[in-house]
Amino acid sequence: MRSDIPVTVLIRPQMGENIGAAARAMWNFGLDRMRVVAPRDGWPNPKAVAMASGAGRVLDEAQHYDDLDAAIADCTHVYATTARPRELTKPVMTPEAAMRDAAARIAAGERVAVMFGPERAGMENADIARATTIVTVPVNPEFPSLNLAQCVLLMGYEWRRATEEAPETRLEGQRTELAERQEIDALGAHWEERLDEAGFFYPETKAEGMRQNLRSLLARLPLTRADVQMLHGVMRQMVRWKDRG
């Protein structure tokens, strides 16, 4: 059994479909350690298998427990996901902070679990009493309830963010190599030359400012080499069209 990811503990889940949807949400983000505690409709559950669609391996390897204490007995740090105010005094984290914390603990050799309560009413105080840390999502206070799969998905996403390097923005496609400064300068010179021949830089008193604006425009754009080649071609074709006239 893997020890480099959190254990996902579903406490008294009520519907097989929700268990299956939670399995899909887990596997979307590389999580496959599920523990199911006292599911209402028994275990295994055919409806969970049907809903998991593509994430069946999570259910195949899921462990079944009759009580919560047994499900988290081997864990050193346990997070309880809940949106309700509770009487118990515990540290409260956002999902982002909790999964960063979990990643650090796992890297240090700890075994971590994240608990999710039943669909209808969430975890009871007796469940939360067994947690080390509470995780609360900053949701709309007038409608704070998330369904089981949504909550599992959100925690899985934050786990992935905490453990995988991913650029916030990137350029995708077949030809994404960015143009070098000299290539953009050559494009600017080409356009400036042709536009000058066409009388674009007029009147003379504004010509220098117009040339600078053109160069500034090209400098601002994240042009690829393919973009630069196309824009050279556009200008060449426009000149040929003009000459045919």
Structure-model confidence comparison of residues 84 and 148, the more confident one: 148
Q: How confident is the model at residue 138 (pLDDT cuts 50, 70, 90)?
A: confident
Which tens digits make up the pLDDT trace of 155-164? Answer: 999 999 999 8
Which is more confident, 83 or 6?
6
Query: Residue 32: pLDDT above 80?
Result: yes
**pLDDT value at 84 more than 90:** no
Of residues 62 and 244, more confidently modeled:
62
Chain mean pLDDT for the chain: 91
pTM of the entire structure? Answer: 0.76
pLDDT at 176: 79
Q: Write the CATH number of the domain with boundaries 7-163.
A: 3.40.1280.10
Q: What is the pLDDT of residue 244?
A: 65
Q: Give residue limits of the domains in the chain.
A: 7-163, 181-244
Q: Is the pLDDT of residue 167 over 80?
A: no
Question: Three-state secondary structure along the chain?
Answer: CCCCCCEEEEECCCCHHHHHHHHHHHHHCCCCCEEEECCCCCCCCHHHHHHHCCCHHHHHCCEEECCHHHHCCCCCEEEEECCCCCCCCCCEECHHHHHHHHHHHHHCCCCEEEEECCCCCCCCHHHHCCCCEEECCCCCCCCCCCCHHHHHHHHHHHHHHHHCCCCCCCCCCCCCCECCHHHHHHHHHHHHHHHHHCCCCCCHHHHHHHHHHHHHHHHHCCCEHHHHHHHHHHHHHHHHHHHHC
